[in-house]
Amino acid sequence: MHENINLSEYSSLQLGGPAAYFFDCDSVESIIEALNFAEAKGLAAHVLGAGSNTLFADAGYNGVILHICLEGIHQSANHIHAAAGENWDSFVAYTVDQGLAGIECLSGIPGYVGASPIQNIGAYGQEVSETIVSVKALKIENRELLTFNNADCDFSYRQSRFKSADKGAYIILEVTYELQQNSEPQICYPELAKQINSIENYVDKSPQEKLQLVREHVLEIRKHKSMVLDPGDPNSISAGSFFMNPIISQSEFEHLKQAFPEMPNYPNGDQIKIPAAWLVEQSGFHKGYTYKNAGVSEKHCLALINRNGSTADLIELAEQIQNDVQKKFEIALQREPVYIE
């Protein structure tokens, strides 16, 4: 256990004040120990992974941080079991090296394995809900160990029961994925498909070679948008996409289309998904936009970046964007990062 740990060192945004108490938890027993400590002190507890989707207050956190450091990957047939503290991109690299298809398009996403079911992370035509078999978790209330199957998780776009109905009720310990051996990668994203189709003799390559090529090109696309953490790239000092792509009804879309006929859109069941980046840019927040010591990435309108500023600066900018998008399009943008104070 550590005291007064600077949380900016545990955040991809490099923001936040000190945590009163900080536990590195590398076992279920150490997690329970930290929870018991918090209860004995009468303090709130927050579970932290890689800090890539977390925004800490400038004043810090007067509670107990449980930093999940659980490690381990093991395989049984097409089922891959990964501990919650495993680095997500390293895990994806491992599966690609094993010739297992299903999460290769999720390469380069920062964070830990444990966050993948919570957020139902997705990118370039894939979502983890398509491959998750089960989630092992600790119920905070009574320290009970439970296993949730895929249906139990209530997955939807960037959502799960762990982020909505049961937010803060469980600590993810391990996730099991079902991936496909010797299977062709499924490429649904137009930008990625264009790059892959331009590769000479791609169709003649082995399934594993194709998986590796897809991973490499996803990383290339993400790096071009500064969506891969890079100490040498100031545009990557972010939490990735700050806003979720809003999903609206068909009637709402038809109404908006009359005023904005050029509005890009994608079908989402019987609803319509609108790119949040387009809404942000059309509301006047262009790439490189600066507000105090925060700003919009020069590479991608959805990434808000820290320019040696404060959490307060970033939140003010986010609120400006949300207010202006609401005024212009009557759409309420939802933030992706979790704010901890």
Residue 227 confidence (pLDDT): 86
Q: Name the stretches of the chain with pLDDT < 70.
A: none
- Residues 158, 161, 222, 335: which is the catalytic one? 158
Q: Is 191 a catalytic residue?
A: no
Residue 229 confidence (pLDDT): 82
Q: Is 336 a catalytic residue?
A: yes
Q: List, in sequence order, the alpha helices (H) in 1-66.
A: 28-41
Q: In what order do the strands lie in the sheet with 170-178?
A: 73-76, 79-83, 170-178, 132-139, 144-149
Residue 228 confidence (pLDDT): 86
Pick from 178, 52, 191: nearest CA to 114: 52
pTM: 0.92
Pick from 119, 121, 128, 17: nearest CA to 62: 17
- The token duo for 6 is 């600077």
Residue 77 confidence (pLDDT): 85
Residue 139 confidence (pLDDT): 99
- Alpha carbon 326 to chain centroid distance? 24
Q: List, in sequence order, the alpha helices (H) in 18-114.
A: 28-41, 88-97
Longest dimension (CA), the chain: 63
In the beta sheet, which residues pair with residue 171?
A: 138
Residue 305 confidence (pLDDT): 97
Q: Is 104 a catalytic residue?
A: no
Residue 186 confidence (pLDDT): 85
- Residues 8, 236, 241, 283: which is the catalytic one? 241
Q: List, in sequence order, the alpha helices (H) in 120-228.
A: 190-197, 207-224
